[in-house]
Structure 1
């Protein structure tokens, strides 16, 4: 099974709750999971899959707890060609910056040559008021790519 670092970007706790549910499900499937609420690239497992679960904050920004992770990658521009990632973005479509924070991170990772192993999901809390259900359904349909 896979080693997976779940990297959480959360302001009000919704993304953290979704990440906890994903971690429980993936652990039950036999994956080795580490959850990171204050992610630091140097503390992540070298050969792990990065599973990013993040909301958008403010005017399309990443939450404060994941912003230093983004800044470090943006400033150092590391070669991430060996890295695979997944993005689970959570937002509210009533805002014109719907899911912009995680999309910025996705673009940065791709700029550093990391590869998405599944298409990202953008969970709209207007349509899916229980975002963990949508996230679990999405990832379980793609678990063969982990």
Structure 2
């Protein structure tokens, strides 16, 4: 089975809750799942075969939450090409803002520049459309993990 690591960017805890619920879905299907609340590039390099899931909200004017900022900065600065790395993105936001889900979008664009291989489509979770982001993410995960 696959090994999956979650790099979480969260301000108020919604992204963390989403990652935890998705990790449980993976574990129930006999995959390994580990959640990093303050992921670093070293964490990724320590798990070269693991599938990466970025699960992040957006804060301020389209910025990354503090706890995922370091990882994204390291990726931008060191620019380690990773054509063997597969990944997914769960982007939480509020569509009443022009910068809806920009943090997730930034992460997806960066990983594509690093030649990582995205599995499926980015999941955009809009706080204006759902009060149950975990439920939306769990349904997406059930389909997404079939590509593992």
Q: Normalising to structure 1: TM-score of the pair? A: 0.97
Deviations 1:47-100 (A, max 9, x none): 000011110011001100000000000001111111110000010111110000
Residue correspondence of structure 1 range 22-41 to structure 2 within 5 A = 22-41=22-41
Rounded to whole Å, the distance in 1 between the matches of 2:133 and 2:59 is 16
Rounded to whole Å, the distance in 2 between the matches of 1:27 and 1:42 is 24
Rounded to whole Å, the distance in 1 between the matches of 2:8 and 2:23 is 11
1:10 aligns with 2:10: yes
Assess if the C-alpha contact under 8 Å between 2:53 and 2:87 holds in 1: yes
Q: What is the alpha-carbon root mean square deviation over aligned residues?
A: 0.8
Stretches of structure 2 lacking an aligned partner (at least 5 in a row): none
Runs of 4 or more consecutive aligned structure 1 residues displaced over 4 Å after TM superposition: none
Rounded to whole Å, the distance in 2 between the matches of 1:49 and 1:142 is 12
Stretches of structure 1 lacking an aligned partner (at least 5 in a row): none
How many residues of Structure 1 are paired with residues of Structure 2 in the alignment? 146
Q: Normalising to structure 2: TM-score of the pair? A: 0.96
Answer 1 or 2: which has greater helix percent: 2
Rounded to whole Å, the distance in 2 between the matches of 1:43 and 1:120 is 22
Rounded to whole Å, the distance in 2 between the matches of 1:109 and 1:141 is 21
